[in-house]
């Protein structure tokens, strides 16, 4: 078994490492037509991998690109990449499309595809600190918020960087109306009196695959889940706060602004439910 940390599927073959795939004239590098998706493999499972592959093709359409592969074919390629690592390895799976040509508007006939699978340990659920960002999420009229598009991430990146300069691990971002949308890197939840609340998808952020899964699992377990517009004050005053996302799955918030929190029972249960479901429970 190779000890490489990343395999890349590019031009119909697997390549060890991270090959150069764009030139200075590539539309994806110059004019930001790249879309991607992120999925996980760990402990011998790859939960909701089919949904991540499906979302990639939906993102391509939203960005005016041509989906080059059927969802099932992308899924097979992802599993082939996972099989190149030791069984049970903690991996990040990232298929992506971009355009090579076009001026401002991408030329869909020049769409390219690649896939990377690389070692990426899932963070331990020890908790993270959270503050409110001065930067907001755009609406659909302002940016391609209906796609998992690389061009959206610099805004999240500056929110994350600004929060880190103030000693926090992550940042909550509001929408244009001043309601909480999501974190810089994940969807956000809070719990009050045993009820799990999370912002309702309103076109300013992706309704995450892991977010949808967690909501289904909690409801099936008898926990009330409410999706609605939410203020930042509600999160600051919550009994518990946690995040859901592909990178860390379900993670507790242990400090919000100047208030310390402990991982709460609903968030802990959500993570346990997810792990049990992922392993076929």
> Rounded to a whole number, what is the distance in angstroms from the first to the last CA of the chain?
30
pLDDT at 258 over 70: yes
Right CATH for 6-119 from 2.30.40.10, 1.10.260.40, 3.30.470.10, 3.40.50.720: 3.30.470.10
Instruction: Note the pLDDT of residue 39.
Output: 98
Instruction: Note the pLDDT of residue 1.
Output: 40
Q: What is the mean pLDDT of the chain?
A: 97
The average pLDDT across 262-269 equals: 97
Domain with CATH 3.30.470.10 in the chain: 6-119
Q: CB neighbours of 232 closer than 8 A, spacing ≥ 6?
A: 132, 172, 174, 180
The CATH number given to 128-278 is 3.20.10.10
Domain with CATH 3.20.10.10 in the chain: 128-278
Q: What is the 3-state secondary structure (H, E, C) of the chain?
A: CCCCCEEEEECCEEEECCCCCCCCCCHHHHCCCCEECCEEEECCECCCHHHHHHHHHHHHHHCCCCCCCCHHHHHHHHHHHHCCCCCCCCEEEEEEEEECCCCCCCCHHHEEEEEEEEECCCCCCCCEEEEEEEEECCCCCCCCCCCCEHHHHHHHHHHHHHHHHCCCCEEEEECCCCCEEEECCCEEEEEECCEEEEECCCCCCCCCHHHHHHHHHHHHCCCCEEEECCCHHHHHCCCEEEEEECCCEEEEEEEECCEECCCCHHHHHHHHHHHHHHCCC
> Could you tell me the two tokens for 237?
């005053």
- pLDDT: which is higher, 137 or 3: 137
Cα dist. 172→11, 113, 134 in Å? 39, 32, 9
pLDDT at 2 over 70: no
CB-CB contact of 241 with 261 (8 Å): yes
Instruction: Note the pLDDT of residue 3.
Output: 66
Closest residue by Cα to residue 80 from 48, 111, 116: 116
Instruction: Note the pLDDT of residue 278.
Output: 97
Q: How confident is the model at residue 4 (pLDDT cuts 50, 70, 90)?
A: confident
> Could you tell me the two tokens for 3?
């000890």
The average pLDDT across 179-194 equals: 98
pLDDT at 108 over 50: yes
Instruction: Note the pLDDT of residue 281.
Output: 62
Instruction: Note the pLDDT of residue 172.
Output: 98
pLDDT at 79 over 90: yes
CA–CA gap between residue 96 and residue 122 (Å, rounded): 21
Instruction: Note the pLDDT of residue 121.
Output: 97
Instruction: Note the pLDDT of residue 248.
Output: 97
> Could you tell me the two tokens for 221?
């377990």
Q: How confident is the model at residue 41 (pLDDT cuts 50, 70, 90)?
A: very high
């Amino acid at each position: 078994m190779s000890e490489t940390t990343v395999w890349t599927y590019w031009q119909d073959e697997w390549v060890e490492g991270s090959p150069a795939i764009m030139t200075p004239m590539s539309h994806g590098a110059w004019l930001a037509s790249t879309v991607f998706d992120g999925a996980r493999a760990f402990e011998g499972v790859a939960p909701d991998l089919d949904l991540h592959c499906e979302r990639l093709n939906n993102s391509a359409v939203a960005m005016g690109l041509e989906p080059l592969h059927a969802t099932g074919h992308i899924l097979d390629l992802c599993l082939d990449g996972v099989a190149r690592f030791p069984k049970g390895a903690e991996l990040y799976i990232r298929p992506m499309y971009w355009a090579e040509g076009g001026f401002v508007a991408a030329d869909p006939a020049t769409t390219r595809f690649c896939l990377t699978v690389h070692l990426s340990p899932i963070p331990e659920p020890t908790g993270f600190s959270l503050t409110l960002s001065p930067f907001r999420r755009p609406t659909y009229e302002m940016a391609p918020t209906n796609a998992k598009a690389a061009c959206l991430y610099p805004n999240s990146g500056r929110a994350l960087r600004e929060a880190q300069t103030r000693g926090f691990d992550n940042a909550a971002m509001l929408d244009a109306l001043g309601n909480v949308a999501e974190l810089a890197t994940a969807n956000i939840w809070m719990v009050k009196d045993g009820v799990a609340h999370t912002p309702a998808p309103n076109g300013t952020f992706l309704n995450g695959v892991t977010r949808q899964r967690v909501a289904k699992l909690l409801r099936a377990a008898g926990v009330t889940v409410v999706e609605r517009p939410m203020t930042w004050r509600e999160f600051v005053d919550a009994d518990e706060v946690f995040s859901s996302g592909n990178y860390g799955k379900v993670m507790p918030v242990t400090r919000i602004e100047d208030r310390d929190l402990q991982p709460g029972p609903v968030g802990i249960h959500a993570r346990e439910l997810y792990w049990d479901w992922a392993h076929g429970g």
